[in-house]
Amino acid sequence: MKKQHIKLTAEDCEILEKKLSKETLTAKVRKRILGLQALDRGLSFQAAQKEVKVSAITLSNWAKKYKLSRLEFLEDKPRCGRPIVLDGELRAKVTALACSETPQGYARWSLRLLADRLVELEICEKISHTDVGRILKKVNFNLIENDSGV
C-alpha cells in the first residue's frame, strides 16, 4: 500500500486545475501545483521529485505547508527588508536628466552634479552619486560619450 503524503480536497483540486490553465502563472507556482498533484496521486517523494524536478526535501516542505495553510503557500508571502527606493520611474528620470542639457558653466554632467540636481528639482528627497552611477550603468549610459546632451 502506497503512503499518500497529502490528500487534496475536491475544491482544492478544482482551484489548482484552474490555476494551471492560466497563462500568467509563474514557474514557481506551477511547480508547486504539479508537486502537490503528484503527491496527491500517491507518488513517493522520490518519484515525485523526478517528475517535478525539485528535491524530495522541497516536496516534503510543500506537503507540510499544504497541511498547515492549504493553498495559501503557493504564493510567497511578502519578504521583510528594505523597500525599493529607486523605482523604475526614478531611474527613467535620472536617465532623462543625464541626457538633457548641462547646466550653465559645465561642459558635461558629473554623477555628483546629477545627484544634486535631482534633489534640487525635488525628483527625489535624497540620492547619492553612487546610486546615480549604478542607475546609469544599468542602462549602459556613459557620461563622457554623451556630453553633447544627446
Helices (H), the chain: 10-21, 27-40, 45-52, 56-69, 88-99, 111-120, 129-138
Amino acid 147: pLDDT = 54
Between the alpha carbon of residue 129 and those of residues 108, 112, 134, the distances in Å are 15, 5, 9
CB 71 within 8 A of CB 20: no
Amino acid 80: pLDDT = 86
Q: Distance between CA 129 and CA 44 in Å, rounded?
A: 55
Cell match 500568467: residue? 24
Q: Is the dihedral of CA 29, 30, 32, 33 positive or negative?
A: positive
| pLDDT tens digit at each of 150 positions of the chain | 466 778 888 999 898 998 888 878 888 999 999 999 999 988 889 998 899 999 999 999 999 999 998 988 888 888 888 777 778 899 999 999 999 999 999 999 999 999 999 999 999 889 999 999 999 988 887 776 655 544
What is the tens place of the pLDDT at every residue in 132-149?
Answer: 999 998 888 777 665 554
Q: Distance between CA 136 and CA 127 in Å, rounded?
A: 13
Show the CA angle centred on residue 63, arms to residues 57 and 68, nearest 5°: 125
Cell match 503512503: residue? 3
Between the alpha carbon of residue 134 and those of residues 26, 45, 56, 67, the distances in Å are 29, 44, 40, 44
